Structure 1
């Protein structure tokens, strides 16, 4: 929950395994233990431009990434705040493959909240609260040529308040937000415009009692699903309470069955994001009291909104994006125990980057923590093993880090107000890539004095070696070498993640009584990244 929002064998003779560890279920990573498990991108944070505020929206068009938000300066990766900065007011672009900033500099005078591109990639449409673009009047909607970066002079719709989301299909741009008038016509919170000249089109309706925060258009262009804090749509509340499926031509309400289960609207909750693919619609939400009850991610069918799955992790979720067989999300999740994931900790800890299987794999268990709605028995995906670390920022004052995700088949991009990624300075933007592109250098996390065996000699001529599993940000299966006096005497593999680190125990026999031996551990991930612990000595009974 969060206050109201505005906007993770070589064995010597006579050695035997005395106890076997139990790991968590196999989950995706860059080299998953099971070939049937989908691969994620690597957790290496790639060099990306940085900003001095918050990123609300990102859009990939070919090899260019367009970024919108609230910021005034940008600087290269590795530069400290104030160093090597250039002016970029609320919108910028950079090269997807190199991370280098481009010269695109539209100079928006206020926030950019939504971005979308034409199917041919020749135009980018922006929505937000701006009223000027490069000194030219544009009232909360604008279009740019991707070839020149210039403002499209022939596209200038006018709405009277903020745009929070945009979508596109064919010759129509869809917008949602807090406005009530578009081009002089009554259009409460949703409107559509011709891509050719910005003329108002026929999509209209009445989402009342709150704003429209998100929208997504079906692949065939016939439906637009909207989400937000509105409490009814065209007078209906199921669907219509925080979500509605609409006809893309007229705005007429259509069946949307998931709204019968997920009820987030009003002063204490909302649907925060909607994305989609041919696999369905993916929505996220927040809940902070009466009138709301959902904080995770759901997947629903395009046909009629039938629920495919719900991940009922606790902690508001801000964005989700499907990529092949994986769904990436950003949240401040602090409990996923009801879907087989991490439990609540004290003090509370957060996972801001979560990934899930595209397919439903089980059912949600009964809620056991806090005063949360019980989704027990509903279909759920599997939580996967990908846990880059992203911190919180201070720009919005809401104690959050990442707010938005964009992706294609090779890259996953996080944007927000964070200042560190994987414990290194990186503000507001970060790229992750598939293993073939990434350096794959995110190895096991612990070494030296933090990675020690516990030794005992329970019987004559034996030494029992125990340790808590190491962990890796993007590989669940690790290989351990037990070394005695510098020589490897046993190799074991095991599964672990940061929140579940089983104890591994192995007993060596046939040792000399009264002799002192030094044992240490080496751990390696599937990409050859090695960490070594300090030695510990024991005298054999």
Structure 2
């Protein structure tokens, strides 16, 4: 959770012209006059659509079989719009929601048990089989529907049917990361365990899952050895030694491991390593210091084609050496393609087409063309990033009202191409009540914050001063403002383009010399984004021009 980064001032030609003409108010001190975001469009709207909710954090999400699966530390779900405690289902740990409507699926109701009577069964990690037909879940539980399932279980995604425990005896400690190989033969697991199938496997294990139901049985050799606790400033242990994310290269040859560790197989590797899928040995070429030594560590790994994306957090390093953003690396050589230098810990990654979506609480992405540090601080729950360049795109999703045990808000992302699903620990999304789970459809939302202009004139004046407060858009920065006199919506008296962002206050000021002396006029403003999504303000007050 970093401190402020370096902001930027960029003054575009359009703004310079408008300022010179007296048509645009100057930006407030410390604010950028132009938003330097990547010009490409994002696939998803920044405004959520109705989705069921949970009463506790969602740590993992998947979309498959016409369903959204959410796993976490919750004990119940409820429909979209329902207040906490209303219309609760009592479905905990793992729940399903209709992928079209977002409504909870009541017929999916697996019951998880734990070894400790007072513990809340928790799903920390999920993974899909390559064909999307099976859902693997890992966490802290020992049974599903009364059947043994020691911390790893598998479900049919289309029906939600519990298929069984993965492995002959599961594992003896929490599972916090899962990944299925692209060829569907192997399930990789990471966490805080010391045995798998009653065989020594410390924090990492791999299961053969070639059986028809995907439950598997035999252990594979892969089990890299992790060591070195991540300490906080002053040397106090901050994070338990474990794996938090796993991913497998597209050719099945390499397994990527991330978590709060400092060594792998006795070699310094700060929070991230690439290993061979066979024996778990290290792949040459991958550095041991992508992240800040000694406090940084990898939190999320996502593979797409020949690239592997790795996000991180850092609770100790100060200054510009802190690494909390995302690396894009060649998945074979470890060569760096780009680094997204955002401040604010990263927790989830999802590739969709040409974009990489990043779940975090970023507060300064100015080094990569995103939002600057502001006061008070502006946090974004998701950044959209151009995969080719590493530059930030306009996408302004915000969460607030963290639930107990986490103030880290957005934690997991998933997509089927039609929608982006976000899980985490929050009570609101874009200032509207929505507990811990939400989703965004493809398209663009209309501008927000569109209010009636403020107008004034003076005794004997033959003009009206029209002040238009800046609006904002959740998925665009290039907005067009059309100032409308009276009800002449088809003939705006002035059109002005202005880059607008949610954290920047300000206004466009226009002096209208068109009305006849003695006439009474009022104004509206119509604001539109590049897709044509439009919002019309209400009426200003009416003023009389050139009154004696």
TM over 0.5: yes
How far apart in 1 are the matches of 2:542 and 2:394? 31
Q: Which residue of 1 aligns with 2:28?
A: none
Structure 1 residue corresponding to 2:298, chosen from 268, 271, 275: 271
Change in CA separation of 1:95 and 1:516 when aligned onto 2, cut-off 3 Å: closer
Q: Which residue of 2 aligns with 1:369?
A: none
Is 1:261 the counterpart of 2:265 in the alignment?
Answer: no
How far apart in 2 are the matches of 1:356 and 1:533? 38
Change in CA separation of 1:423 and 1:500 when aligned onto 2, cut-off 3 Å: closer
CA deviation after TM superposition for structure 1 residue 468, in Å: 4.1
Q: Which residue of 2 aligns with 1:392?
A: 401
CA contact (8 A) 2:521 2:544 kept: yes
Q: Which residue of 1 aligns with 2:426?
A: 418
Structure 1 residue corresponding to 2:527, chosen from 523, 526, 530: 523
If the length of structure 1 is used for normalisation, what is the TM-score? 0.83
CA deviation after TM superposition for structure 1 residue 412, in Å: 0.4
CA deviation after TM superposition for structure 1 residue 504, in Å: 3.3
CA contact (8 A) 1:276 1:321 kept: no
How far apart in 2 are the matches of 1:126 and 1:510? 67
Q: Which residue of 2 aligns with 1:172?
A: 186
Q: Output one character per residue of 1:350-394: Cα deviation in whole Å (capped at 9) or x when no partner.
A: 12221111111xxxxxxxxxxxxxxxxxxxx22211213321322
Change in CA separation of 1:537 and 1:23 when aligned onto 2, cut-off 3 Å: farther
CA deviation after TM superposition for structure 1 residue 469, in Å: 2.5
Q: Which residue of 2 aligns with 1:372?
A: none
CA contact (8 A) 1:17 1:506 kept: no
Q: Which residue of 1 aligns with 2:344?
A: 315
Is 1:383 the counterpart of 2:386 in the alignment?
Answer: no
What secondary structure is seen at the aligned counterpart in 1 of 2:397? coil
Structure 2 residue corresponding to 1:489, chosen from 493, 503, 507: 493
Is 1:499 the counterpart of 2:493 in the alignment?
Answer: no
Matches within 5 A, 1:120-199: 120-153=131-164, 155-156=166-167, 157-169=169-181, 170-195=184-209, 196=211, 197-199=216-218
Structure 2 residue corresponding to 1:62, chosen from 53, 62, 65: 65
What secondary structure is seen at the aligned counterpart in 2 of 1:394? coil
Is 1:345 the counterpart of 2:349 in the alignment?
Answer: no
Matches within 5 A, 1:429-468: 429-435=437-443, 442-448=445-451, 451-453=452-454, 461-463=462-464, 465-468=466-469
Is 1:404 the counterpart of 2:412 in the alignment?
Answer: yes
How far apart in 1 are the matches of 2:284 and 2:505? 45
CA contact (8 A) 1:298 1:307 kept: yes
CA contact (8 A) 2:355 2:386 kept: yes
CA deviation after TM superposition for structure 1 residue 494, in Å: 2.7
How far apart in 2 are the matches of 1:248 and 1:540? 81
What secondary structure is seen at the aligned counterpart in 2 of 1:253? coil
Q: Output one character per residue of 1:264-317: Cα deviation in whole Å (capped at 9) or x when no partner.
A: 66xx44211111211511221111115993211222111212111222121111
How far apart in 1 are the matches of 2:461 and 2:81? 56
What secondary structure is seen at the aligned counterpart in 2 of 1:338? helix
Structure 2 residue corresponding to 1:96, chosen from 71, 96, 99: 99
Structure 2 residue corresponding to 1:24, chosen from 20, 35, 58: 35
Q: Which residue of 2 aligns with 1:106?
A: 110
How far apart in 2 are the matches of 1:2 and 1:128? 29
How far apart in 2 are the matches of 1:201 and 1:507? 75
CA deviation after TM superposition for structure 1 residue 503, in Å: 4.6
CA contact (8 A) 1:522 1:532 kept: no
Q: Which residue of 1 aligns with 2:221?
A: 202
CA deviation after TM superposition for structure 1 residue 203, in Å: 0.7
Change in CA separation of 1:467 and 1:459 when aligned onto 2, cut-off 3 Å: farther
If the length of structure 2 is used for normalisation, what is the TM-score? 0.82
Q: Which residue of 1 aligns with 2:54?
A: 51
How far apart in 2 are the matches of 1:321 and 1:264? 26
CA contact (8 A) 1:177 1:190 kept: yes
Structure 1: stretches of 5+ with no match in the other structure: 4-15, 29-36, 361-380
What secondary structure is seen at the aligned counterpart in 1 of 2:188? strand
Q: Aligned residues, how many?
A: 489
Q: Which residue of 2 aligns with 1:370?
A: none
CA contact (8 A) 2:64 2:416 kept: no
- Report the aligned-residue RMSD: 2.9
Change in CA separation of 1:255 and 1:462 when aligned onto 2, cut-off 3 Å: farther
